[in-house]
Chain A
């Protein structure tokens, strides 16, 4: 049997997503938490492209394109927020960010 079942791709996507979720929960460095969010987005993209390929439809790839755009915008704003937090707190440890008012 040639080829790979789509289930394998979905399984890999799920594993990557869970690693990303675990990273968000475990790590305290705000930058690493942010990277884990990127990993989760990437896992979702992999599932999109896998289903796009198996259904022979391009809509999934268009969605991945939009997700990448949103991720780029999110990274720009998120890193700006982290820099702003670092300026006021002198740290990017998320445990120390416990006040709404800086």
Chain B
């Protein structure tokens, strides 16, 4: 057991525990907070994997912007808890069974098609520095990067149109 492996196992335990906590929480606010913790843990993984830019983006965009938006909508709608109803009683056993099948498939693939390679935790001398990412982003991936701006514009217009008040806004 090297220190790298111990660190990985601790972080993996936290990541899985928070994911399960998100799944099992009755209250949607607790789910969102568990998910914030999960995203932060994954950001630490990115740091260990030598991707500091992606790690910071993960914290600001995912754990920051996206989850705050989630919390806003949860509290805006006041739908933290749904009333208990069982319309589809066979839903949960079927879902658990299907997830189990997916897990068996994934385990089969992982144990038969083993990828080779050792990752050494090295957050200091990392390849994914903001400078390297930026140079690649503005040279080889310039067109996808520009298309991204159109995608964000479409999403923004879509969100405004979908949530706009049609009586007052005068939209048809």
Q: Is the interface of B mostly helix, strand, loop or mixed?
A: helix
The 3 tightest CB contacts between A and B, nearest first, are: A25-B95, A73-B155, A54-B117
Smallest CB–CB gap between A47 and chain B, Å? Answer: 10
Question: What size tier do the contact residues of chain A reach?
Answer: 35 or more
Cross-interface CB contact of A2 among B16, B32, B120, cutoff 8 Å: B120
B85 on interface, CB distance cutoff 8 Å: yes
Q: B residues 99-117 with Cβ under 8 Å of A?
A: 99, 102-103, 106-107, 110, 114-117
Given A53-B50, A83-B163, A95-B88; A31-B28 close (CB under 8 Å): yes
Contact check, B77 vs A4: say whether CB atoms are below 8 A apart.
Answer: no
Cβ contacts B1-37/A at 8 Å (1 or 0 each) = 0101100100010011001101100001001100100
Interface hits, A2-22 → B, CB 8 Å: 2-12, 14-22
Residue from the list B15, B73, B115 in contact with A83, Cβ < 8 A:
B73
**Which residue on chain B has the smallest CB distance to residue A96?**
B87
CB<8 Å pairs between A and B, sample of 30: A4-B120, A6-B119, A7-B114, A9-B45, A12-B12, A14-B103, A18-B106, A25-B91, A31-B32, A35-B22, A38-B62, A39-B35, A42-B38, A42-B42, A49-B54, A53-B50, A53-B119, A58-B128, A62-B133, A62-B141, A69-B152, A71-B66, A72-B61, A72-B152, A73-B151, A76-B69, A76-B156, A79-B69, A80-B160, A91-B79
- CB-CB under 8 A from B118, the residues of chain A are 1-6, 54
Residues of chain B at the chain A interface (Cβ within 8 Å): 2, 4-5, 8, 12, 15-16, 19-20, 22-23, 28, 31-32, 35, 38-39, 42, 45-46, 49-51, 53-54, 57-58, 61-62, 65-66, 69-70, 73-74, 76-77, 79, 82, 85, 87-88, 91-92, 94-96, 98-99, 102-103, 106-107, 110, 114-121, 127-128, 132-133, 136-137, 141, 144, 148, 151-152, 154-156, 158-160, 162-163
